[in-house]
């Protein structure tokens, strides 16, 4: 046996179709507003590319004058008018550096104070960073510090929003809801490009301060709105606050608190949490982080494999090269020397990203996560290699071939389309579904931090890869050969490591990963619930009779978990037998949709959700009539 007895507050259902309430309009609205946090991520990603190419901003940090009437620099070639590669690298990558540390810290904070307060704290930290960025003029140190602090806020939001969305979204539309987060990212990038496009030719500090200042709107809307949303029910279960969990679940699902759906879904969440707690027991602070790396990479449901999968999918998403377009697209198009209006082309690529992403809402639930990753990688490989081939042949600046240049832009837009429908949203959906509740916040934090770590690496090295300043490689379009090669690696990773999680609850995902390999996961269907499995194993133990000889000794050796607020004090278990609802064949009365008063003769009324005291009938039952033992999970479950 593994661990001690598991205390279940009440029984759930054996019907896998009834472990979640029907989807209501209210559930959609709650999840849609939470996805608004993607605006932060996207907007802060989008405005930097345009600001780095603004004439006033370049003059501010290089001292090279600019003729705004003739729209050309004074004394230098327009191709060489820009920030140095080191300046672009530092200003861009420092945000990702702050986000990396913010995402890691957010996992601990989200477990300590909750998902919702952590997101609100991220809004405040982000606003502080914006103030520092706006306050800088030609002070590079102050500007960089502001980017670092704002990055910490983005890290809080990007990690915990995903955690929050995955825990509250209904399973049938969870992929579409989390894809909405990616859509908000693309929408934020588009808004940033629109604002930058409108202020690019201003000859004062407002040219870059306006795009930065607009970010306060997103912080204000999200921060205030989250005060009105409920906390994640799974966070309350993790803390043992079951009454609060029932209330939050009732709000999110739009069902009465005494609804059969709420009872069944909450029972399943509790059963899964207790099951996983037996596998991943609470240890020290360091031990809780090390738990993410326990197990074997060959074992489908091991924590190590989940962490590698979550971090790996985020690394592969970054190595597709998409942020090369959104971080340095404007300056890259300037350096090509073949595009007359690089700001407009950047706006076009962003618009393609926004318009393509909503297609993923339907595709991710229709075709599944694994299917989209595999075919999306194939599409990106083709488009990137074609772009690189055109760029090194007829698309060279000295050839002046407008048709070739337009073809390059078209294939870049098609590459963005494939990313926006597949790898863009699916990578975020997966990390919210992968991890069991005991390590979910830390697993999501590690995965999100890996995204930002490689985001930082790309932001640091890309200016040197495509820049034309001394010491840079000046690869130009040849850089797409590199991104295309990385997409081949992403394809292999998706094929061999990523399972299909479409249509499963977070608890069913655990079971699926335990039973099948990724390549066979699409055919897996749930066949039982955690609550039913607990009752079945408990019944088998009762029939064997081996555990019923010394019931009181077992309770004294391993009492039920005391972190649940509703559990009786330890003294109760020394004088009374375990509750009646541990019986292997549950009483159906609590789950009658419209019970009569007589139905509650042996079952507590709706006040059973007030878990601060045990029901009276539990203390009155005869221990000789019901010598039932608490559940102990078998090791091979």
Residue pLDDT, tens place only, 293-306: 988 888 888 889 99
- Indicate left, alpha or beta for 368 from its phi (over 0: left) and psi (-120 to 50: alpha): left
0.85 exceeded by pTM: no
Residue pLDDT, tens place only, 257-289: 888 888 888 887 887 777 777 666 666 778 888
CA–CA–CA angle 139, 455, 137 (5° rounding): 10
Query: Does the pLDDT of residue 313 top 90, yes or no?
Result: yes
Q: What is the mean pLDDT of residues 110-117?
A: 90
The answer for residues whose C-beta is within 8 angstroms of residue 241's C-beta and 6 or more apart is: 565
CA 78 to chain centroid? 42
Residue pLDDT, tens place only, 356-414: 999 998 999 889 899 999 999 999 999 999 999 998 888 777 777 778 888 888 999 99
pLDDT confidence band for 308 (50 / 70 / 90): very high
Q: Which residue has the tokens 């559990």?
A: 567
Query: Does the pLDDT of residue 163 top 50, yes or no?
Result: yes
Q: What is the mean pLDDT of residues 488-514?
A: 88
Quickly count: other Cβ atoms within 10 Å of residue 544's Cβ.
Answer: 9
Quickly count: other Cβ atoms within 10 Å of residue 95's Cβ.
Answer: 29
- Give the phi and the psi of residue 295 in degrees, each rounded to 5: 100, -175
> Treating both helix axes as pointing N-terminal to C-terminal, what angle do 174-199 and 140-168 enclose, rounded to 10 degrees?
160
Of residues 248 and 547, more confidence is placed in 248
Residue pLDDT, tens place only, 408-461: 889 999 999 999 999 999 998 898 888 887 888 888 889 989 988 998 898 888
Query: Does the pLDDT of residue 184 top 70, yes or no?
Result: yes
Residue pLDDT, tens place only, 605-630: 444 444 444 434 333 344 444 444 44
What is the predicted pLDDT for the residue at 39? 84
Task: Find the largest Cα–Cα distance for the chain.
Answer: 98
Alpha helices in 337-401 (DSSP H): 342-356, 359-366, 369-392
Q: What is the mean pLDDT of the chain?
A: 78
Query: Does the pLDDT of residue 533 top 80, yes or no?
Result: no
Compute the distance between CA of residue 220 and CA of residue 428 in angstroms, rounded to an integer. Answer: 24
Lowest mean pLDDT among 18-32, 321-335, 389-403: 18-32
What is the predicted pLDDT for the residue at 239? 87
| Residue-range domains of the chain with CATH | 1-19+232-280+529-591+604-637 (no CATH), 20-229+281-512 (1.20.1250.20)
**67 in helix, strand or coil?**
strand
DSSP 631: B
What is the predicted pLDDT for the residue at 541? 67
| Strands of 1-85, DSSP E | 66-67, 72-73
Compute the distance between CA of residue 241 and CA of residue 237 in angstroms, rounded to an integer. Answer: 6
Q: Pairing state of beta strands 72-73 and 66-67?
A: antiparallel
Query: Does the pLDDT of residue 582 top 70, yes or no?
Result: no
């Amino acid at each position: 046996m593994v661990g001690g007895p598991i205390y279940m507050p009440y029984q759930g259902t054996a019907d896998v179709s009834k472990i979640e309430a029907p989807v209501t309009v209210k559930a959609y609205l709650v999840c849609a507003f939470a996805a608004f946090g993607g605006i932060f991520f996207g907007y802060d990603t989008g405005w930097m590319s345009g600001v780095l190419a603004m004439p006033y901003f370049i003059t501010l940090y290089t001292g090279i004058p600019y003729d705004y009437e003739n729209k050309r620099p004074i004394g230098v070639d327009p191709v060489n008018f820009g920030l140095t590669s080191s300046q672009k690298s530092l200003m861009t990558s420092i945000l990702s550096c702050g986000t990396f540390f913010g995402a890691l810290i957010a996992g601990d904070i989200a477990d300590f104070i909750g998902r919702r307060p952590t997101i609100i704290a991220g809004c405040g930290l982000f606003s502080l960073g914006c103030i520092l960025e706006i306050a800088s003029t030609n002070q590079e140190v102050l500007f960089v510090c502001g980017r670092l602090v704002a990055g910490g806020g983005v890290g809080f939001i990007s990690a915990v929003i995903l955690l929050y969305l995955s825990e509250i979204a209904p399973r049938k539309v969870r992929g579409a809801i989390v894809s909405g987060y990616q859509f908000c990212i693309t929408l934020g990038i588009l808004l940033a490009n629109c604002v930058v496009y409108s202020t690019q030719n201003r000859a004062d500090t407002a040219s870059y301060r306006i795009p930065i200042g607009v970010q306060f709107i997103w912080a204000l809307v999200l921060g205030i709105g989250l005060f009105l949303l409920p906390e994640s029910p799974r966070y309350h279960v993790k803390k043992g606050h079951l009454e609060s969990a029932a209330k939050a679940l009732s709000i999110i699902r739009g069902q009465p608190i005494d609804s059969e759906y709420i009872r069944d879904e909450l029972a399943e969440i509790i059963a899964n949490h207790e099951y996983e707690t037996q596998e991943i027991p609470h240890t020290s602070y360091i031990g809780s982080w090390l738990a993410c790396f326990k197990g074997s990479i060959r074992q489908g449901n091991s924590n190590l494999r989940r962490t590698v999968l979550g971090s790996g999918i985020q690394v592969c998403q970054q190595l597709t090269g998409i942020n090369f377009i959104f971080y340095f697209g404007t300056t890259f198009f300037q350096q090509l020397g073949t595009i007359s209006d690089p700001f407009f082309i950047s706006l076009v690529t962003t618009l393609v990203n926004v318009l393509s992403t909503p297609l993923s809402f339907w595709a991710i639930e229709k075709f599944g996560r694994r299917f989209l990753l595999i075919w999306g990688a194939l599409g990106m490989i083709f488009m990137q290699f074609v772009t690189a081939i055109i760029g090194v042949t007829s698309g060279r600046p000295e050839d002046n071939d407008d048709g070739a240049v337009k073809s390059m832009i078209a294939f870049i837009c098609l590459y963005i389309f494939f990313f926006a429908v597949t790898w863009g949203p699916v990578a975020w959906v997966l990390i919210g579904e992968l991890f069991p509740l005991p390590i979910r916040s830390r697993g999501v934090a590690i995965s999100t931090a890996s995204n930002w770590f490689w985001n930082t690496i790309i932001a640091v090295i890309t200016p040197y890869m495509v820049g034309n300043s001394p010491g840079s490689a000046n690869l130009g379009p040849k850089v797409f050969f590199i991104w295309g090669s990385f997409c081949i690696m992403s394809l292999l990773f998706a094929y061999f490591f990523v399972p299909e999680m479409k249509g499963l609850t977070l608890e069913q995902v655990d079971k699926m990963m335990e039973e099948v390999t990724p390549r066979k996961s699409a055919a897996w269907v749930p066949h039982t619930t955690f609550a039913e499995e607990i009752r079945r194993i408990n019944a088998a133990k009762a029939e064997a009779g081996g555990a019923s000889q010394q019931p009181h000794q077992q309770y004294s050796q391993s009492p039920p978990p005391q972190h649940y607020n509703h559990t009786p004090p330890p003294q109760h278990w020394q004088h009374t037998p375990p509750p009646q609802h541990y019986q292997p064949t549950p009483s159906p009365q609590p789950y009658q949709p419209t019970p009569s008063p007589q139905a509650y003769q042996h079952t507590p009324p709706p006040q059973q959700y007030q878990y601060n005291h045990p029901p009276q009938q539990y203390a009155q039952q005869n221990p000789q009539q019901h010598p039932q033992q608490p559940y102990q999970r078998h090791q091979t479950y």
